């Protein structure tokens, strides 16, 4: 069950006025912007979205190529390729960049986007490290195999049952007893982490420094990220985005909940230390002119987590260190995620923080549109006041030309990202710029796509995945029931100066 605000209000997709072609040409949204040595032709941006299309061992597939090629046809200023694993370890059908064997596929991806956008779109790749998250176990299996018994459990059993016999009982007897015991007794015997593993599945944290591979993260991650960034450059990407957001390793170092005592946790200055060391190693590897950006959280939206004041501090440090863009996101944490079903892993977009990451129309009075803008603006103001011009990317419920243009006119951010709206209609930038905004297929913000992501199914959009299934050469999902790409759109026939008039804006589907 995914979290939503109490007593939700069901918002409708507001009508909007799309620009004429001349208005679009004079807008800020369709003006170029410089990022390090690159020029984005326009300030439109497609943030990272995992589409579950890689092979089981992390290689680029034909479906990946088609997915990014289709986005490129809309010619946004930039596309960020989905979170791509930096390590050479199995991670299911998520793209990987932890070894040179991934290079041919990634190079083909770059070529595909260049061709499909006719060289108009810049391509970045988001690189990520994550810690182990296991599925919620069958209780019988947990007690029989996973629980490590020690003296503490014996004493707790004695205290809970009043029976001294547990001090000398055999392990199989303890396991069998616990497997059949009522929840209240189990809660008295297991500690907090053991209970979490039983009820939600095992999940590592950056604070688990008793585990050697977690303890050594500060020593190994700079080199691993640097190698991955070097490969991104070799494959031809225009830049890398270091994934310091949501529920993953680097975000966990930045988190106010990071209490590591080895100089990499506690105070903000210590929490930002590894993220900066990773950045420096990456920069050293790829050189000064290559674009290196970062995605991080304006607010973690969890109890005891980092808030806007932390984000402002981190942003200043990132800008000073030399990051080329700062892309803001919000929430998306494990800590408040819903309890998964047995056999499933916890999914970090099911709690309140997940809601804030990808808000839906079942919302509070503020609605799902542009909820992150104030965070990005506060970060941008603070960074600019410190004398840095590092471009700030904002995303989250931004789906119309009007919204995007107003954000830029107010100087609230420098670049506008739209993930779900671009999934709903990858041509929407092109349609808006050609004065054909009335043809935009507008996202309804009900998160069918996110539900597919949650169940690790190939991500599609409900607005187009069942239409024209009999088209020749249409690629279908594994179950054969959904098309994997939206139907094409033909920009031909756009007259010079053609466009929408006031009040003719496309209506949403509510």
Ligand X SMILES: Cc1cc2nc3c(=O)[nH]c(=O)nc-3n(C[C@H](O)[C@H](O)[C@H](O)COP(=O)(O)O)c2cc1C
Q: Which is nearer to ligand SF4, 373 or 449 (CB)?
A: 449
Q: Which residues share a beta bridge with 483? A: 476
Out of 38, 254, 463, 485, the only residue in the binding site for ligand SF4 (CB under 6 A) is 463
**Residue 245: closest CA among 180, 295, 299, 316:** 295
b/e for 439-450, b at 16 or more Cβ within 10 A?
bbbbbbbbbebb
Q: Does 49 bind ligand X (CB under 6 A)?
A: yes
Give least dist CB 52 to ligand X, A.
Answer: 8
Q: Which of 444, 453, 454, 508 binds ligand SF4 (CB under 6 A)?
A: 444
- Distance between CA atoms of residues 223 and 482, nearest Å: 41
Q: Backbone dihedral region of 293: left (phi > 0), alpha (psi from -120 to 50 degrees) or beta?
A: beta
Which CB, 402 or 462, lies closer to ligand SF4?
Answer: 462
Nearest to 388 by CA among 341, 322, 438: 322
Residue owning tokens 């807008």: 27
Crossing angle of the two packed helices 308-321 and 373-385, in degrees rounded to 10:
50
Question: At residue 80, what are phi and psi to the nearest 5 degrees?
Answer: -105, 120
Of 147, 151, 243, 236, give the one whose Cα is nearest residue 196.
147
Q: Which of 3, 59, 177, 448 binds ligand SF4 (CB under 6 A)?
A: 448
- Rule CB under 6 A: is residue 126 a binding residue for ligand X? yes
Residues 401-420 vs ligand SF4: string with x where CB under 6 A?
A: -------------------x
Pick from 227, 326, 313, 235: nearest CA to 278: 227
Interaction between residue 189 and ligand X (CB under 6 A): no
Residue closer to ligand SF4 by CB (options 59, 448) is 448
Binding range to ligand SF4, per CB under 6 A, among 36-44, 106-114, 266-274, 437-445: 437-445
Distance of closest approach, residue 106 Cβ to ligand SF4, in angstroms: 25
302 sits near ligand SF4 (criterion: CB under 6 A)? no
Residue among 127 and 186 whose Cβ is closer to ligand X:
127
Candidates 40, 50, 127, 297; binder of ligand X (CB under 6 A) is 50
463 contact choice in ligand X, ligand SF4, none (CB below 5 to 8 Å, kind-dependent): ligand SF4
Among 447, 458, 499, 500, indicate the residue that binds ligand SF4 (CB under 6 A). Answer: 447
Q: Does 445 bind ligand SF4 (CB under 6 A)?
A: yes
- Contact partner, 396, from ligand X, ligand SF4, none, Cβ < 5-8 Å per class: ligand X
Does position 60 interact with ligand SF4 (CB under 6 A)? The reply is: no
The residue written with tokens 């597919």 in the block is 452
Q: How far is the CB of 349 from ligand X (least distance, A)?
A: 8
**Residue closer to ligand X, measured from CB, 311 or 358:** 358
Which two tokens mark 338? 């819903």
Residue 242 contacts ligand SF4 per CB under 6 A = no
Query: How is residue 416 written in tokens?
Result: 């506008």
DSSP string, 382-405: HHHHTT----EEE-SS--SHHHHH
Strand 38-40 to strand 33-35: parallel, antiparallel, or no bridges (unpaired)? antiparallel
Sole residue written with tokens 């585990």: 211
**Closer CB to ligand X, residue 50 or residue 78?**
50
341 vs 310: CA distance, rounded Å: 34
Structure tokens at 273: 């230390």
Closest CA to 31 of 475, 477, 315, 409: 409
> 358 touches which of ligand X, ligand SF4, none (CB within 5 to 8 A by kind)?
ligand X
Q: Does 373 interact with ligand X (rule: CB under 6 A)?
A: no
Which of 11, 450, 483, 500 lies at the binding interface for ligand X (CB under 6 A)? 450
Q: Which residues touch 323 (CB under 8 Å, ≥6 apart)?
A: 279, 292, 293, 294, 390
In the window 271-310, what residues touch ligand X (CB under 6 A)?
295
* Sites for ligand X among residues 66-105 (CB under 6 A): 82-83
Among 94, 131, 461, 500, binds ligand SF4 (CB under 6 A): 461
Euclidean distance between CA atoms 411 and 393, whole angstroms: 12
Contacting positions for ligand X (CB under 6 A): 47-50, 82-83, 126, 243, 245, 295, 329, 357-358, 395-398, 418-421, 449-450, 453, 459
Contacting positions for ligand SF4 (CB under 6 A): 420, 423-424, 443-449, 461-463
């Amino acid at each position: 069950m995914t979290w939503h605000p109490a007593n939700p209000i069901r918002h409708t997709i507001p009508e909007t006025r799309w620009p004429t072609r001349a208005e679009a040409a004079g807008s800020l949204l369709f003006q170029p912007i410089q990022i390090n040595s690159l020029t984005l032709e326009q300030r439109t941006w497609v943030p990272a979205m995992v589409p579950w299309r890689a092979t089981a061992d992390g290689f680029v597939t034909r479906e990946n190529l088609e997915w990014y090629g289709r986005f490129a046809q809309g010619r946004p200023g930039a596309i960020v390729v989905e979170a791509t694993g930096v390590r050479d370890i199995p991670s299911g059908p998520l793209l990987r960049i932890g070894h040179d064997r991934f290079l041919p596929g990634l190079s083909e991806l770059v070529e595909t986007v260049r061709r499909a956008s006719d060289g108009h779109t810049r391509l970045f790749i988001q690189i990520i490290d994550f810690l182990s998250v296991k599925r919620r176990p069958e209780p019988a299996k947990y007690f029989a195999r996973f629980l490590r018994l020690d003296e503490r459990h014996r004493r707790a059993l004695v205290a809970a049952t009043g029976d001294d016999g547990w001090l000398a009982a055999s392990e199989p007897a303890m396991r069998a007893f616990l497997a059949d015991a009522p929840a209240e007794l189990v809660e008295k015997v297991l500690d907090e982490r053991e209970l979490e593993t039983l009820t939600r599945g095992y999940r590592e944290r950056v604070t688990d420094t008793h585990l050697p591979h977690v303890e050594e993260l500060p020593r190994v991650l700079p080199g691993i990220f640097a190698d991955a960034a070097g490969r991104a450059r070799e494959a031809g990407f225009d830049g890398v985005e270091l994934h310091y957001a949501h529920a993953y390793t680097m975000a966990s170092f930045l988190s106010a909940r990071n209490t590591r005592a080895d100089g990499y946790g506690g105070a903000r200055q210590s929490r930002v230390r590894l993220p900066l060391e990773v950045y420096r190693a990456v920069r050293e590897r790829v050189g000064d002119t290559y674009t290196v950006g970062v995605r991080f959280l304006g607010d973690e939206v969890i109890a005891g987590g980092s808030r806007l004041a932390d984000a402002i501090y981190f942003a200043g440090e990132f800008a000073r260190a030399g990051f080329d863009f700062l892309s803001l996101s919000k929430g998306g944490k494990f800590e408040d995620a819903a309890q998964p079903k047995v056999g499933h892993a916890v999914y970090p977009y099911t709690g309140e923080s997940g809601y804030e990451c990808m808000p839906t129309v079942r919302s509070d009075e503020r609605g799902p549109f542009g909820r992150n803008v104030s965070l990005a603006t506060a970060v941008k103001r603070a960074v600019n006041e410190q004398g840095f011009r590092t471009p700030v990317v904002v995303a989250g419920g931004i789906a119309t030309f009007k919204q995007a243009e107003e954000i830029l006119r107010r100087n609230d951010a420098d670049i506008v990202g739209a993930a779900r709206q671009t999934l709903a209609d990858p041509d929407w930038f092109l349609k808006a710029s050609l004065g054909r905004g009335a043809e935009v297929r507008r996202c309804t913000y009900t998160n069918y796509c996110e539900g597919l992501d949650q169940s690790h199914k190939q991500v599609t959009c409900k607005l187009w995945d069942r239409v024209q299934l009999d088209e020749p050469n249409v690629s279908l999902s594994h179950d054969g029931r959904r098309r994997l790409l939206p139907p094409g759109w033909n920009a031909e026939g756009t007259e010079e100066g053609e466009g929408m008039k006031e009040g003719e804006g496309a209506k949403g589907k509510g």
